[in-house]
Structure 1
Amino acid sequence: MYLANLIWPAVFLSERYYSWWAIPLGLGIETVVICWLTSFSWGRSFLIAFAANIASAIIGVLLFAWAGLIMEFFIEPLFLYFSLHWAFTSLDWLATGLLAACFSFTIEWVIIRYAFLVPGNWKFFWMFLGANVVTAGVALVSILLFPIKYGPG
């Protein structure tokens, strides 16, 4: 199996993005955004954020790392064509963070719009996307501050 020896940024980010501290942080940020942009109570806003994040986490744990691998297969050849290095550069990490934010946002937006019938408008769309970018950004920065350690020592 060739993929057994490959590693790509989405594998690292998924370990942080779906970790014990990142999920409550995302819930908190998204609850505030939902409450601020709607007339919903804090409790209802939390319930909406919680349900959307449950769906996002279930799908994300299963598919996000693979989405990152697909992104690598499409973007890296473009950079190599122009003789630019891509793998594990700042641009690669930034693209992975944006992919994580957009991946989560898409799933959560569908849940919020269609399961909870929250009216969609551009302000809500962009603010909620921004909340997901912040959450993904925090997870991404945590990798730089506290690198993932595998194996002994």
Structure 2
Amino acid sequence: MGWIDAATNPQGIMEIFGDDTPPLVGVSLHEVIVGRDGPTLRLRLDLPTYPASPPVKWKRGGFNTVQVELLFGGLTELSLRGVSTHMLVDVDIEANRGIILQVKSEMVNVAAVAASVTISRMEAYLDSERESVSVEDVRDKP
């Protein structure tokens, strides 16, 4: 079971990526936001690959990066250690009597337990520091 299976609303990601939903490995973490209402935790991150057949609007924009915001609702535990200006992390989301979140890198560690995870936002943009990397490019590499 992957991270997408734990989300309450995987349809949007699945429509764009199909069966090639990228794992959350080596993702760029932009934000960690804790809200008292709920309480909630939001993670904003760039997916590691770009879809092979992106929406027309994304093609016209020349975009190369998909960014998602994951909202963890009903937060009951949270641990955050470390911070950096460039956070490449591995994210593990497991549904097991709630949602268990682990975000790990050499610089940053986040652990949380929540009642649910929702994809609250998904958009594409042009990251000038990133080459265009599609799902097909990753699959073809040895």
**Larger radius of gyration between Structure 1 and Structure 2:** 1
- Higher share of residues assigned helix: 1
Give the TM-score of the pair, scaled to structure 1.
0.28
Give the TM-score of the pair, scaled to structure 2.
0.30
Q: Which has the higher contact order (CA 8 A, sep 6+)?
A: 1
